Structure 1
Amino acid sequence: MADAYFLLVCDDVPHDVVLTDPGTRPLDVAQVVRRLTGLSLWRSKVLAVRAPAVILAGVSQEDAEAAATALRAAGARAEVGQQPEPDFPKP
């Protein structure tokens, strides 16, 4: 049986939210990360301090923009980027 690869075409390409710099208030940023991800405060702080870090992966563009705006409001630098398309082997 031959392997078949399919690329689904959809209207909304998944996006990632990347925290590039926690700024001068890392605890405030950690609280926003906690609210966005549901992680504990300790794990959120570790994630915020180890920037650059992917906070959310594979979310819609609207959710990614809202999350980046919340992180920026807390004093962090955050970017929204599209997930790269998978590189399927050619048959």
Structure 2
Amino acid sequence: MADAYFLLVCDDVPHDVVLTDPGVRVMAVVQVVRRLTGLSLWRSKLLATQVPAVVLTCVSERDAAAAVAALREAGAAAEAKEQPQPDFPKL
């Protein structure tokens, strides 16, 4: 029996929010990371200081843009990356 894979066409491609530099106001960035992820203060600090770090994964484009704006407002460098589409074999 052959396995068949289907790619669902959605209006919104999932995005990842990547923190590339925490900047000079690290604690402000940690608070934003904590608010976005729901992690503890300690884990949020680890995530914010070990860059590049994926803060959010598989979120909508609108949510990713809002998260990037919040991180940049806190003084960090962040970007939203579109997740690559899977390369399914053609049948």
Aligned to 1:11: 11
RMSD after superposition? 0.9
Letter in 2 for 1:28: A
Letter in 1 for 2:54: V
> Is 2:76 the partner of 1:67?
no
Aligned to 1:54: 54
* 1:71-82 pair list within 5 angstroms: 71-82=71-82
CA deviation after TM superposition for structure 1 residue 81, in Å: 1.1
Specify the SS of the correspondent of 1:9. coil
CA deviation after TM superposition for structure 1 residue 54, in Å: 0.5
Specify the SS of the correspondent of 2:31. helix
Structure 2 gap ranges (5+): none
Distance in 2 between residues matched to 1:11 and 1:18, nearest whole Å: 22
Distance in 1 between residues matched to 2:54 and 2:6, nearest whole Å: 27
Question: How many residues are matched?
Answer: 91
Following superposition, which runs of at least 4 residues in structure 1 exceed 3 angstroms of deviation? none
Specify the SS of the correspondent of 2:10. coil
Specify the SS of the correspondent of 2:78. strand
| Deviation larger for 41-50 or 79-88 | 79-88
Structure 1 gap ranges (5+): none
Distance in 2 between residues matched to 1:32 and 1:21, nearest whole Å: 14
TM-score by length of 2: 0.95
Q: Percent identity?
A: 74
